[in-house]
Amino acid sequence: MIRLSAFGFRLSQLREAGVLGVNARNRLISRWNQRKFYPRVDDKLLTKELARAAGVAVPELLGVVDAYGDLRRLDGRLRGLGEFAVKPVKGSKGNGVLIVAGREGDAFVCSDGRRVSARDLGYHVAGILAGLYSLGGQVDRAMIEERLRCDPAFERVATGGVPDVRVVVFRGVPVMAMARLPTRASRGRANLHQGAMAAGLDLATGRVVHAILHGKPADSHPDTGARVAGLAVPRWDELLEISARCADAAGLGYVGVDLVLDARHGPVLLELNARPGLGIQLANRRGLVGPLRAVEAANPTGMTPAQRARMGIELAATAVGRAA
CB contact at 8 A, 74 and 141: no
Residue type, 233: V
- Residue 33: C-alpha distances to residues 46, 91, 260 (Å): 17, 20, 24
pLDDT for 68 = 93
pLDDT for 193 = 82
pLDDT for 320 = 56
Q: Which CATH number fits domain 4-58+150-323: 2.40.50.110, 3.30.70.260, 3.40.50.720, 3.30.470.20?
A: 3.30.470.20
pLDDT for 15 = 62
pLDDT for 4 = 47
Secondary structure element (H or E) that encloses residue 150, with its range:
none
Which is nearest to 266 in space by CA: 58, 75, 83, 60?
58
Buried b (16+ CB within 10 A) or exposed e, 45-73: eebbebbeebebbbbeebbebeeeebbee
pLDDT for 245 = 97
- CA angle 137-96-211, nearest 5°? 110
Given a cut of 70, the residues of the chain with pLDDT beneath it are 1-17, 320-324
**pTM exceeding 0.85:** yes
